[in-house]
Structure 1
Amino acid sequence: MYAWRLAGPGGYFTYERVPVPDVRSGTILIRMEVTPILSYLKKYVQGLPGYLYPKLPFTPGTNGAGTVAAVGSDVWHLKPGQRVVVSPYMVATENVEEPAQMLGGLTAISPDSEPFFTTWRDGTLAEYLLAPVNAVTPVDDPSLSSDSLALLGRFAVPLGGLLRGRLNAGETAVIIGATGNFGSAAVLLACALGAERVVAAGRNSQLLADVANAGGHRVYPVTLTGDLEADTAALRSAAGGGAHFAFDMVGRAQNAEATLAGLKSLRRWGRLVLMGSMAVPLPLTYAEVMRNNLEIIGHFMYPANIFLKLLALIRSGLLDLRAIQMYRFGLADLPEAMDAAETAGGLSCTIVTAS
């Protein structure tokens, strides 16, 4: 088979022929069909601070979809020929208090997860992938295209945060960072989950207008200025006086103003979920959080059944993926795909196809 191989940050990155992995106990061999490309994959290949790369050469690539080619002897439900989606988020299955976790094809999460990551370091940018059975979800709906399946990873991450923060039907939600890949997905998901009003906040007015148009009449765009007091007032006004729920998905923010505006937009008893990657400390006013009974919830990724929940939202018609524009490349054309993904907007997705 052919696969892209990376020898660590800034190391050689080549498209080469490698052996098809052997199926073993507890694994599934998948013939990959489609892989979404991270917007920062080009920078990741060159070397990004904060990521724990495997020490051995590996195949990058996180999410994806394909068809089961073979299963291990102790796999009971999945069968060859089934369509499946692959999750990069893996958690060790031992019954310990803090099991190791990792993102396959991308990074270990902490130094203690490096051995775990070494075992499952290869990702989806290949013709075949060997994955642990608990990283694979079957797709039984034949009407779903490969394009739709490629989008599931983008929606899985924010859905994990919305569910962790207990977003309820009829509530008002503020989404900070609403023009990014995950943030725009969070807006559409909040609508799908029954939010009465969704405030989409970001710095690009045109992209916000596009997200609001995709979400429909319940979405209220707010352009952030960087002025904490003014942004808080704008968010509270758009939320009808205050929000029940706020969700922060801002990537590598260099200041805390947008996140704080989201916190200050909350009504009493409100919840703020943090899933972004802000690069500076978050200053909190102790008394403000205490007096208003606010919850601040840090959350990473999603539960194992998240793709089943997403597929149910799509089948029911509550979540429509057609607002996302797809840009397609062949697996061998990955360098061009990485360039396209780097400049793509939140309502677009760059994919590579292996078949």
Structure 2
Amino acid sequence: MKAWRLDGMGGCLAFETVPKPVPRAGSVRVRIEASVLMSYLKPYVEGKLPFYRPPPAPFTPGTNGIGVIDAIGPDIWHLKPGQRVVLSSHFVAREQIDDPAQILIGLTGSEGAAPMLHDWPDGTLGEYALAPAEVVTPLDGLEDINAAQLAAITRFVIPFGGLLRARLTAGETIVVTGATGAYGSAAVLVAIAMGAARVVATGRNQSSLDALARVAGPRVSTVALSGDVQRDAEALRTAAGGGVPVAFDMVGQANDPNATLAALHSLRRGGRLVLMGSMATDLPIPYTTVMLNSLEILGQFMYPANAYQRLLALVRSGLLDIHALTPREFALAALDQAMHAASDAGNLEYVVVRP
């Protein structure tokens, strides 16, 4: 088969002919139909993200994707060849222990996860991928949607994990910071699908907020942030009709904490703030404010193991329209061009490569 092979971050990236992976116990081999590119794949490949812990070189990069099961190994009882599936990169060690290691297959791992990365180094940027059964979810009932469009669910699942962590319930109001980014926009759309009565989408790009509001519908209002924490917090409360029960923070690479602090100060007593972005500075917590108002600050990495199943239920029911996001398609061989496009993609589009 053909696959991209990376000789370590900052090393050689080459399109090579390699043996097809052989299914082993607890695994399935998937013929890839569409692999979704991260916006930061190019700097990752170039070695500009030193905080990542990549698999031992060489390996096939690539995270989530859509495909069809081609073969199964021993100890697989429900998944079948010919079944269309979505592959998640998020894999948590199977052992029943208090703090299992976790990795993102084809990308990085937590501290102490080197043995897992050694066993499961290769991602989806090839014609076939071998995956542990735990990261494979059937796409039954969605046969009428093409693979590139189905790949949109990989954009939605990450903020969905954060909204589950937030315990968002139907009828609640939520503030989403970083809503002009790819995952922030997806968070707004998923929150609507989950029954939020009102979503206040915030960011600093009014035109992107307006485009998102047009797609998301009348339950979404927007606030363009000024950078002044107190002024912005008051604007959020006004847009929400009072203090909000939930705030979801998906800011990307922010150099100051002001947007996140504005969201925190918009909360009503007993409110919850979920942190899931990638802020590049520390967050100064107003201790007394948090204590006096019984606020919760919750961190969330990725999503629970059954998140794709729950998200797909929203898609099948018609509550979540994945056509709100637009795919840009490239051939697998044109990865360099696709990586450039992924870095420039708008908040309502994503890039896939297809063998």
Taking structure 1 as the reference length, what is the TM-score of the superposition? 0.98
State whether residues 252 and 278 of structure 2, in contact with CA within 8 Å, keep that contact through their aligned partners in structure 1.
yes
Match runs of 1:81-92 below 5 Å? 81-92=82-93
Task: Give me the whole-angstrom Cα distance separating, in 1, the residues matched to 2:228 and 2:288.
Answer: 22
Match runs of 1:272-291 below 5 Å? 272-291=273-292
- TM-superposed deviation, 1:227: 1.2
- TM-superposed deviation, 1:288: 0.6
Match runs of 1:1-355 below 5 Å? 1-47=1-47, 48-110=49-111, 112-141=112-141, 142-354=143-355
Task: Give me the whole-angstrom Cα distance separating, in 2, the residues matched to 1:149 and 1:98.
Answer: 33
Between 275-284 and 78-87, the greater mean CA deviation after superposition: 275-284
Task: Give me the whole-angstrom Cα distance separating, in 1, the residues matched to 2:137 and 2:37.
Answer: 20
Task: Give me the whole-angstrom Cα distance separating, in 1, the residues matched to 2:66 and 2:322.
Answer: 16
SS of residue paired to 1:117:
helix
Task: Give me the whole-angstrom Cα distance separating, in 2, the residues matched to 1:41 and 1:60.
Answer: 9
RMSD of the TM alignment (CA)? 0.9
SS of residue paired to 1:244:
strand
> Which runs of structure 1 show a deviation greater than 4 angstroms over 4 or more consecutive aligned residues?
none
Task: Give me the whole-angstrom Cα distance separating, in 2, the residues matched to 1:232 and 1:12.
Answer: 47
SS of residue paired to 1:159:
helix
* Residue-by-residue CA offset, 1:118-174 (whole Å, 9 max, x unaligned): 211100000000000101001111223212321111111110110111001111100
Taking structure 2 as the reference length, what is the TM-score of the superposition? 0.98
Q: State the AA in 1 paired with 2:151.
A: A
- TM-superposed deviation, 1:300: 0.7
State whether residues 149 and 326 of structure 2, in contact with CA within 8 Å, keep that contact through their aligned partners in structure 1.
no
* Residue-by-residue CA offset, 1:48-88 (whole Å, 9 max, x unaligned): 12101123210110000100000012100001000000000
Task: Give me the whole-angstrom Cα distance separating, in 1, the residues matched to 2:109 and 2:251.
Answer: 21
State whether residues 55 and 106 of structure 2, in contact with CA within 8 Å, keep that contact through their aligned partners in structure 1.
no
Gapped regions of structure 1 (runs ≥ 5): none
SS of residue paired to 1:350:
strand
Task: Give me the whole-angstrom Cα distance separating, in 2, the residues matched to 1:136 and 1:237.
Answer: 43
State whether residues 137 and 308 of structure 1, in contact with CA within 8 Å, keep that contact through their aligned partners in structure 2.
yes
State whether residues 32 and 65 of structure 1, in contact with CA within 8 Å, keep that contact through their aligned partners in structure 2.
yes
SS of residue paired to 2:333:
helix
Between 249-258 and 75-84, the greater mean CA deviation after superposition: 249-258
State whether residues 30 and 129 of structure 1, in contact with CA within 8 Å, keep that contact through their aligned partners in structure 2.
yes
SS of residue paired to 1:201:
strand
SS of residue paired to 2:238:
helix
Q: State the AA in 2 paired with 1:155.
A: F
Gapped regions of structure 2 (runs ≥ 5): none
State whether residues 64 and 149 of structure 1, in contact with CA within 8 Å, keep that contact through their aligned partners in structure 2.
no
Between 76-85 and 221-230, the greater mean CA deviation after superposition: 221-230
Task: Give me the whole-angstrom Cα distance separating, in 2, the residues matched to 1:248 and 1:318.
Answer: 23
* Residue-by-residue CA offset, 1:175-225 (whole Å, 9 max, x unaligned): 000011110000001101111110000111111101111110010011112
SS of residue paired to 1:217:
coil
SS of residue paired to 1:67:
strand
State whether residues 33 and 146 of structure 1, in contact with CA within 8 Å, keep that contact through their aligned partners in structure 2.
yes
State whether residues 29 and 130 of structure 2, in contact with CA within 8 Å, keep that contact through their aligned partners in structure 1.
yes
SS of residue paired to 1:53:
coil
Q: Size of the alignment, in residue pairs?
A: 353
State whether residues 149 and 327 of structure 2, in contact with CA within 8 Å, keep that contact through their aligned partners in structure 1.
no
Task: Give me the whole-angstrom Cα distance separating, in 2, the residues matched to 1:123 and 1:151.
Answer: 18
Q: State the AA in 1 paired with 2:306.
A: N
Identity among equivalent positions (%) equals 56
SS of residue paired to 2:151:
helix
SS of residue paired to 1:188:
helix
Q: State the AA in 1 paired with 2:315.
A: I
